[in-house]
Structure 1
Amino acid sequence: MAQEQIMKPETAAKKLGILLSAAPEEFRNEPITRTAFDEIQANPPEWLAELRRTGPHPRPVVAAKLGVSISGLARAGVDDTMTTEDIKALLTEMPAWLVTERSTQAEVRAENVRVKEQRAAKASAE
């Protein structure tokens, strides 16, 4: 019988979109099987639901919630994790860097759509 796939806590936290340091000790210290991981994803325990709701959130989640890139966070000097409350405060305040980075991100997305459509049109013409 094949051995079940196991992942490191760091990998599991990344896939769940949470900070490992904010997870319970038993999650941080033990490798997790694929079956257990799938169960956590399908039926999140209260600690996971709370982390996803209030944070602290890792940088990719912060960037997504703010509508900017991770590079945009770095350019703005934002290198810490943030809670949901911190993110909401920034979205209410809308500092100049956030307006600029959101605009840049919107331009990048629009360009990606344009290129994808162009490639699709070219492929269908062939």
Structure 2
Amino acid sequence: MKPETAAKKLGVLLEATPEAFRAAPVTRTALQELQNEPPEWLVELRRTGPHPRPVVAARLGVSVAGLRRADVTEPLTTEQIQALLEEKPEWLTRERETHAAVMAENARIKRDRAAAAAAPRTPQR
């Protein structure tokens, strides 16, 4: 697979990976090895960043769209994410509330659909 696909699967920013990783395709076996026994560069990259948007969004408890609405377009380091969590800017509070509401609504819909699927159906005439 392409290095950018492998980087996404590993949850890291491609530009921050070593040149050797970016230079050649990554086999599924190599990806599995990286996941099971990550080398030091991968451990450090996951710990300190810079992180791709999906990881930043997850660590902040917001959606990727919420990051975009807040004009957070650049990758952030773990230190920058921690600073935002401590500062709690207004946009972060608002986006966390929005994200929590959306997740709750999605869970409700999933429960409703599961209940409807489990309910006995009456024959129609």
Category of TM-score, reference length = shorter chain: over 0.9
Aligned length: 120
Aligned to 1:48: 42
1:86 is matched by which residue type in structure 2? Q
2:93 is matched by which residue type in structure 1? V
Aligned to 2:103: 109
Question: What is the TM-score when the length of structure 2 is the normalising length?
Answer: 0.94
Percent identity (aligned) = 67
Gaps of 5+ in 1: 1-6
Aligned to 1:3: none
Q: Distance in 2 between matches of 1:32 and 1:123?
A: 42
Aligned to 1:81: 75
Q: Distance in 2 between matches of 1:121 and 1:34?
A: 39
Q: How does 1:1-126 map to 2 (within 5 A)?
A: 7-126=1-120
Any idea what the Cα deviations from partners look like across 1:16-55, whole Å, max 9, x if unmatched? 0101110001001111111111111100000000000000
Structure 1 residue runs of 4 or more that deviate by more than 6 Å after TM superposition: none
CA RMSD of aligned residues (A): 0.5
Q: Distance in 2 between matches of 1:90 and 1:9?
A: 30
Any idea what the Cα deviations from partners look like across 1:1-23, whole Å, max 9, x if unmatched? xxxxxx11111001101011100
2:44 is matched by which residue type in structure 1? E
Bigger Rg over Cα: 2
Question: What is the TM-score when the length of structure 1 is the normalising length?
Answer: 0.94
